[in-house]
Structure 1
Amino acid sequence: MNNEAVLAELRALREQVTGVTDAAVASSDGLPVASDTDEVRPEVLAALAAAALGLSKSAGNEVGMGELREVTIRCSGGHIVVYAVRDRNLLVVLGDEGLDIAHLHLQSRPVVDRLAEILAPV
């Protein structure tokens, strides 16, 4: 895995989308891979994002909605968005109240594809 390439993707996403405050990549079992965070602890963010993704995958499977793409959580102080990166990883993005969710979803799809390639087992 190329850690610098993962970090470059996270930093670019923060620069491209208004309101993104933090971003991280983790394994689907909650271990941090790389993070571009300021005040959020990467290991806690990774674990919580993996739990949200796992629960959402189970819910989607149970109701027959197909493969999970993302989970969006809206809080009084901003947003938490978790994207599945194939079966083994996830991308979690935090944003403030001004986060442009539509633009984030548009910009994150190619990022998720590139991360899948970067993180693919050799």
Structure 2
Amino acid sequence: MRRMNIESVLTELMTLREQVAGVTNSAVASVDGLLVTHDASDVRPEVLAAMAAVALGLGKSTGAEVGMGELREVITRCAGGHIVVYAVGQTNLLVVLGDEGLDINRLHLYSRPAVTRLGELLAA
């Protein structure tokens, strides 16, 4: 991917952090777990990308098995916050970590258009 597109992807991640209180880390990766870029400071982004790919794959398989259609996102809530993995087209993903105060509705409001833009940037 061209450097300009990587910078634009990173800008999307940083904008999401600014728009949604509680977002602590984020990354974009391929569905096979390879890191594209990240806005993460207190997690290992390569591990985050790999684990998000596993979560996305499991969600896709489960959705297909029960006939609920194309997967949009996988949400995991932990004692310390949230992990949200969004499908970005068929070949990429966005993973967002948020603290316990994360406004999940606001995250969805801002992340869904970001997923569309990320899909366009990654396809270019």
Q: Where does residue 9 of structure 1 map in the other structure? A: 12
In 1: Cα distance, 2:103 partner to 2:81 partner: 11
CA RMSD of aligned residues (A): 0.6
Question: What is the SS of the residue equivalent to 2:105?
Answer: helix
In 2: Cα distance, 1:38 partner to 1:99 partner: 17
- Normalised by the length of structure 1, the TM-score is 0.98
In 2: Cα distance, 1:71 partner to 1:34 partner: 20
Q: Which 4+ runs in 1 deviate beyond 3 A?
A: none
Gaps of 5+ in 2: none
Gaps of 5+ in 1: none
- TM superposition shift of 1:13: 0.0
- Normalised by the length of structure 2, the TM-score is 0.96
- TM superposition shift of 1:39: 1.0
- TM superposition shift of 1:30: 0.2
Question: What is the SS of the residue equivalent to 1:67?
Answer: coil
Aligned residues: 121
In 1: Cα distance, 2:113 partner to 2:59 partner: 22
Structure 1 residues 65-76: aligned runs within 5 Å: 65-76=68-79
- TM superposition shift of 1:70: 0.2
1:15-64 deviations in Å (ceiling 9; x for gaps): 00010000100000000000000111111000000000000000000000
In 2: Cα distance, 1:81 partner to 1:109 partner: 12
- TM superposition shift of 1:102: 0.3
Q: Where does residue 119 of structure 1 map in the other structure? A: 122
- TM superposition shift of 1:113: 0.2
